[in-house]
Amino acid sequence: MAATPSHLISTSISISIILLIFSSLMEFLVLASANPTSPALLLHSLPAMVLPLYLSTPNSSFRTSSNPRRLLQRSESLNRPNARMRLYDDLLRNGYYTTRLWIGTPPQRFALIVDTGSTVTYVPCASCEMCGRHQDPKFDPEESSTYKAVKCNIDCTCDSDKVNCIYERQYAEMSTSSGVLGEDLISFGNQSELAPQRAVFGCENLETGDLYSQPADGIMGLGRGDLSVVDQLVDKGAISDSFSLCYGGMDIGGGSMVLGGFTTPSDMVFTNSNPVRSPYYNLDLKEIHIAGKRLSLNPSVFDGKHGTVLDSGTTYAYLPEAAFLAFKDGIMKELSSLKQIRGPDPNYNDICFSTDESEVSHPSDTFPAVDMVFGSGKKFTLSPENYLFRHSKVRGAYCLGVFQNGKDPTTLLGGIVVRNTLVTYDRENSKIGFWKTNCSELWERLHESVSPPAMPPASDGKNSTPGATPTLAPTGAPPYVLPGELQIGKITFDMSLNISYTDLKPHITELAEFIAQELEVNTSQVHMLKFAANGNDSRISWAVFPADSTDSISNTTAAVIVARLTEQRLQFPVMFGSYELLGWRVEPKEKRSWWQRSYVVALSILGILVIALSVVGLWFLWRHRQRTVNPYKPVNAAAPEQELQPL
């Protein structure tokens, strides 16, 4: 029987009350259980240059069910704050992108790899004796007044003493990380609307393999899971259930990240991402087109095992065997006129092509576009920079950044596929969006303006670096415009490198050359002012002078140099360790008096006069000596008497 209006009202009220009670109950359970559930032993691929990466199924303790509380927050998701964060490093040169997080009170800074395939965030602990030497000092819980250990409970894996909760992670290339779980304030930098939040993270006591040797301090887990930073912030209601990554393009590096939602561009291309399909962020990929021509493949080829996975922590793209062979053949048909050459590493059979050097800066004029077509029928176009990487030994040559994923039927799309692409992981609506853009001009194109809040108060604690927070990604114009038409005489800056004075001293000339290269100035313009030991590190003062052809540094050039310095964009070989900028100063061209401006001319004239007078004086001296040696005597002049000598 149909319900009467009063019944409908009563039913609606009852449902609302039930939902309210359920929401309150869930919030109570989340707040009452600050300790995470048992972390899964997740196998995931860290960046590799060319070796195929393999994904393995996580154990049964991994949870992928969505939180019911998030379903009740959709109407207000865009009203929540977000955290804008700068990305550093480069996917192909460094193998990863990092961001900066500050943990504790006072805040201790860390450079963490952003990884959508990891579900835990961890940093080396001060007590760790089996941790490598990384970019920043280890986290010291005793120096943080807000740190709290996560005590052993039924929802976590406990240590052997049954005192603290622990975590363990193992990766496909066999590197491992393990340690205790702690909770502390996490800060997100000076471009963040989001205030510091308490979150659970790992304090490493052991790391092996690539994790031990990499410069980055640790990993920021952006995957799905109770220990994920995103999940924790969403569960607290601090941000909406979304985050975005924007990787810099070929030869640029860096980029931006947003934790939380924002108004996405109207022409962003979305595809479904089913959280139940796999524990990773998957795409509903159906077809691949090369130069507008569809590859003859069954759509099911992209749905094997974990499906099509988008992973920010993987460098290249890896396709199932059938898809890779079709892709390779399609590319080679389009490039039949190009000469195929050997790859940069003889240990791998890279597919590389040599082009005319005049086309080096415009690979899109030579290489075809590649389209990814999703289940909705929408397609996203990849530029050559999204499937190629530069040959490191041959100018004008490019290599295929797509490889066969062994016998694994998973399609794994790494960071190369989304260079210069804003990728929005809209977890709330189970979809992922792509928007082609210049990531260095992201904020300008999105027409957003955010007034950043102040960072937590500074202190003298260890690894406390609030003054070195990341800045906004640079726009097309110089990010540091110096006031007025300043005549710049030199730019000085101090840096600290985590390498000893003794080890660095023999290579100081090489370092100066790398600095000049990174700042795009001549080596002769870079001068070392001071060089001293600073504990186990080295402290160096540098100056950048105008080029030989000019007497000042232009405002634009100075702005670019300062931007690269302050945004920590200088890339040095591993032998120099990591660096920290301690300060910089732009010194104006000195105002000189008439004498200072004209002293060269005056000295030249004076020199000429001195030389002329010297010549005249020497001539007179010579004449005088000539007269002394051969004196003139008149014919009738009397000869002086000669002294008589005895016979």
Rounded to whole angstroms, the Cα distance separating 54 from 161 reads 35
What CA–CA distances, in Å, run from 605 to 544, 582, 609, 613? 32, 46, 6, 12
Alpha-carbon distances, residue 456 vs 106, 152, 195, 582 (angstroms): 7, 30, 9, 20
Nearest by Cα to 329 from 301, 365, 290: 290
311 is catalytic: yes
Cβ distance 86 to 471 under 8 Å? yes
Going by C-beta distance under 8 Å and a sequence separation of 6 or more, which residues neighbour residue 247?
A: 87, 91, 97, 255, 312, 415, 418, 419, 420, 421, 439
For 348-361, b/e burial (b = at least 16 CB within 10 A) is eebbbbebeeeeee
Contact 495, 504 (CB under 8 A): no
- In contact, 433 and 424? CB cutoff 8 Å: yes
Q: Which of 5, 204, 173, 178 is nearest to 96 (CA)?
A: 173
Report strand pairing: 148-149 vs 176-187: antiparallel
Active-site residue (options: 231, 284, 311, 350): 311
The sign of the CA dihedral 618, 619, 621, 626 is: positive
Q: Report d(CA 92, CA 139) in Å as an integer.
A: 28
What's the rounded Cα separation, in Å, for the pair 558 and 387? 35
How far is residue 61 from each of residues 111, 151, 156, 278, measured CA to CA in Å? 29, 19, 10, 14
Overall size of the chain counted in residues: 647
Task: Give the whole-angstrom CA distance, residue 290 versus residue 353.
Answer: 17
Exactly one of 90, 115, 136, 231 is catalytic; name it.
Answer: 115
Determine the distance from the C-alpha atom of residue 330 to the mean position of all C-alpha atoms in its chain, rounded to a whole number.
33
Angle between helices 508-519 and 555-566 (to 10 degrees): 120
Compute the distance between CA of residue 46 and CA of residue 98 in angstroms, rounded to an integer.
13
Q: Measured between alpha carbons, how far is residue 117 from residues 49, 113, 278 in Å? A: 17, 11, 11
For the CA atoms of 404, 405, 407, 408, the dihedral, rounded to the nearest 10 degrees, stands at -150
Q: What is the DSSP letter of 207?
A: E
Secondary structure, 3-state, 462-530? CCECHHHCCCCCCCCCCCCCCCCCCCEEEEEEEEEECCCHHHHHHHHHHHHHHHHHHHCCCHHHEEEEE
Residues 6+ apart with CB under 8 A from 18: none
Question: What is the spatial distance between Cα 559 and Cα 407, in angstroms, rounded to a whole number?
Answer: 51
Contact yes or no for 168/92 (Cβ under 8 A): no
Instruction: List strand residue ranges (DSSP E) for 21-97, in order.
Output: 83-87
> Helix, strand, coil: what percent of the chain each, to 5?
25, 25, 45
Is 115 one of the catalytic residues? yes
Query: In Å, what is the CA distance from 447 to each residue of 28, 257, 264, 436, 441?
Result: 39, 16, 11, 16, 10
| Contact by Cβ (8 Å): 404, 324 | yes
Assess contact for 256 and 86: CB atoms under 8 A. yes
Would you name the residues annotated as active-site residues?
A: 115, 311
